[in-house]
Amino acid sequence: VEQRLAEARKDYNKMIDKKRDVFPEVAQILLHRFTVDFQRIFKDNEPKSKGVLSSNERSQFSVVIHNVRITDCSPNTSSSVVFDSMSEKSFFDLCVRTRGPLNADLIRVDLVDLNLAYGDGKAEKIMVNTGEDFVWRLLDIANRTMLETANLAGVDLSLTWDESAGKFSVSISDPMGNSRDDVDLDGNYCPPRSDKLYDVKKLRVSPFLLLLSFKRQPQSSRYKLIRGVRGAKLANYFTTRLKFTIDRAELRFQGYMARDIKGPPDRLADTIKTVYATQLKTKMITLMTATSFQDWKYLTARDSGGEEFIEGDLLRMTGNLTGRSAKYVLKKLGDGIGDSVVAMTGTIGGGIQDATESIGIGYVGAGVNSLISGVGEGVGS
C-alpha cells in the first residue's frame, strides 16, 4: 500500500510540473562573503541627557557584502557580466547603531553609515554593463512575482481546532474586509500609521562611482504607440526605433550626510532617494558624451552598411532634413496666404526635395519621412 501511495504521489507531482509554465533562467546572482552581525551591550553609569530618558542599552546591526556579481543567463547576450563589484573594498557595508530599547515607539539611532565600494578615502568602480533586453526580462520576473504574491495575499487562511472532529478546520477570509479606509464617513483623511518612528542623529552615505555601459535595441512590441497628440510620431520613433550605446560612462556620486532626521522609515529612504535622483540629473552631460547612436542606416536611408556611423552619413541626413523641412516651411507659409499659394509652394518644396534626391541625399525613406512629418505636425498643430 505504501508503495502504491508513493507511486501515486510521484505521478501526481509529475502532472503538476507539466501544468506549470517553464520560464528560462534570466540572471545568476553571486554574493561573496555575506556577513550579518548584531550586537547588544548594556553600559553602567550612563550620563543623563537633558529632556531625554537615559538608557544603558546599546545595539549595533551591520550587513557586509564584500563582492557582488550578476550574470546574464541568456545565450544570446554579448556580455554575460551585468553587474560587477569585484574589488578589494566591500561593495555594501552598512552599520546602524541605536541607543535604548528596540521595541519602543521612538527608536533613537546614533548613526546610520553606508559605504558602497568605498574605503581609505577612495571609491572603487562599480561596473554596470547591460542592455534593454535584460531590463525587460527582469521586469517580466518582477511582474510575475507581483501577480503570484497578490494571489497568495488575496485571502487569509486560519486554522481552528475542531474538538468534535478531532482535526483542524480551515476557513478563508478576505484580508481587505478588516482594512481601514483612508477617508472616513465624514470625509476626513486618515493618514497611514507607522508602528515605529526613528530619531536619527547622523546619516552618512559614502561617495561611489558607477561605470555604466548600456545598449539599447528597442523591442517595438513592448511599447504602445502614441496617437492623436502633438509630437506623437517623434515620440514613437524614440521609443520603438532609436538605437544607441552608452560606453563606459563614469558616473561619480558625491557622499551625503544629514543630521537630526525624525520620522517613519520611509522618510529616511525618501531623503536619500531625492538626493541621488537630483545628482543623477546632473550626470546627463557625462551620459551624452559617452553615447553613440546606431541608427544611422535608418536616418540616412542607406541601402547598405551597418547601423554604425560611416563617412557621408552626416551629409546624407542633412540633405534629407533640408529637403523635407524646406517643403514643410513653404507649405505652412502657403497655409496662411491661400490655397493657390499652397499648391505653388508645395510644388516648390517638392522640387527642392527632388533636387536633393538627384545627388543622392534627398531620399528620406518611409520611416524618416514619417518622422519629419511628425515633427512638422507636432509643431504646427
What does the pLDDT average to over 288-302?
A: 70
pLDDT of residue 363: 37
Q: How far apart are the first and last CA of the chain?
A: 80
pLDDT of residue 307: 66
CA distances, 44 to each of 40, 243, 337 (Å): 14, 65, 92
pLDDT of residue 284: 79
Question: Higher confidence at residue 375 or residue 5?
Answer: 5
pLDDT of residue 280: 87
pLDDT band at 376 (very low <50, low <70, confident <90, very high): very low
Out of 53-67, 118-132, 208-222, 284-298, pick the least confident: 284-298
What does the pLDDT average to over 116-127?
A: 92
pLDDT of residue 318: 60
pLDDT of residue 19: 54
Mean pLDDT over the full length of the chain: 74
User: Packing angle between helix 339-358 and helix 313-335, nearest 10 degrees?
Assistant: 170
pLDDT of residue 332: 47
Report d(CA 121, CA 287) in Å as an integer: 25
What does the pLDDT average to over 77-86?
A: 86
Query: Would you say 275 and 256 are in contact if contact means Cβ atoms under 8 Å apart?
Result: yes
Question: Higher confidence at residue 62 or residue 75?
Answer: 62
pLDDT reading at 282 higher than 80: yes
pLDDT of residue 122: 92
Query: Would you say 101 and 196 are in contact if contact means Cβ atoms under 8 Å apart?
Result: no
Output the pTM of the full model.
0.62
pLDDT reading at 320 higher than 90: no
Question: Higher confidence at residue 324 or residue 16?
Answer: 16
pLDDT of residue 156: 63
What does the pLDDT average to over 162-184?
A: 64
pLDDT band at 349 (very low <50, low <70, confident <90, very high): very low
The amino acid at residue 11 is D
pLDDT reading at 17 higher than 80: no
pLDDT reading at 201 higher than 90: yes
